[in-house]
Amino acid sequence: MRYALRPGEIRNDGGVLHGPILSIVDPARQRLIRSGGSLTDHSVSWSRSTTFELTSLTTSSLGLALSISNLGDAPSVNASITLVIWGVEERQVATFRSVTSSQIPPAQVSSPGTPAGNLVENISFGLEELIYGTGASEIGDVSAITHIFAVVHDAPLDMPDKTSTDLVLWAKKGEKYFGPSNVHPCRLSHKIACILPISKGAFSVVDNQVKHEIAGYSDIFITQVDAGLSAHFGVLSPVKTLMLGDLKGKGVSGPHFSSSLLMAGDVQFYLEQQGRVLSSSDRKNADVNVSPSNGDCLMINWSDTGSDRDKGDFVVNVCHR
């Protein structure tokens, strides 16, 4: 079925349809989404958008600032913002709806002093204002929140895409939507932004000891694979959990989504090869480093179980999601 005509496209009469095109993704990530580079990027967590900021926080309320760009050729008059809030529990899912306080001019404006198609919208809400779908569990304290997604559109011309639509629809059913084929929704749509309710990175590392600062999920990338024996990768403690099997068979690839919730606290990862389990906390087994640009991604450079114990046989990147 043909989708509805969008601004910038050619009408049946040969003219161009004019209207707003809203985006809440920064230009660099817009380019990655358009090129498909977002699907393989493991330099940052795509659960932390540069256009979305936490401005205030209490035990029962939040304040947010969302930067919205209008890439179209007509003002956005009544943009709608839907927030999707996830809690640590599987069914802790809620929504909150807001509308922009001001018009968003098109990016092609030329009059002096007029913002070039941008609006920073401040949003605040209390937990008692959240809306829950059938079967959803209530979020009773802000400390239980793990993710806040924002979705923007301006109907009827600037409609949400399928990924952002599904994110909201699943939330209204009390379910978390991990994206088509479990690809992070923010990797696919310029109409979705996400924020983590902490300012510091999701991971910290001291002497190979890994601390996970906030509960969440994982996007796993295999960036180097030994040509010899295969191996399995997972969490060793607090509870041993397989995250990714047969690294050799998968080859250099990713992201591989792990739906196992990685709780906050001290974490050890493992590499299992020939029945032997190697812990990431032992420097003889692995070098563990946080991404230099942020604290949301880890690189684990494993040794093998052979006699030389050299590093570089398996390199795994884990990005908080």
**Boundaries of every domain in the chain:** 22-195, 203-320
Q: Architecture of 203-320 per CATH?
A: Sandwich (2.60)
Say if pTM beats, i.e. exceeds, 0.85: yes
Average pLDDT over residues 307-321: 84
Residue in the structure block whose two tokens are 């098109």: 106
Q: Which fold has domain 22-195?
A: Immunoglobulin-like (2.60.40)
Retrieve residue 30's tokens. Answer: 């817009």
Determine contact, residues 217/183, Cβ cutoff 8 Å: no
DSSP 231-261: -EEEEEESS-EEEE--HHHH-SEEEEEEEEE
**Span 34-50, mean pLDDT?**
94
- Rounded CA-CA distance 94/129 in Å is 10
Q: Grade residue 118 by pLDDT with cuts at 50, 70 and 90.
A: confident
Arithmetic mean of pLDDT, 49-53: 94
φ and ψ at residue 164, rounded to 5 degrees? -70, -35
Tell me, what's the pLDDT at 32?
A: 96
Q: What is the pLDDT of residues 125-181, one digit of tens each?
A: 999 999 999 889 999 999 999 999 999 999 888 989 999 999 999 999 999 999 999
Alpha carbon distance 159, 28 (integer Å): 23
Each residue's pLDDT tens digit, 252-266: 999 999 999 999 999
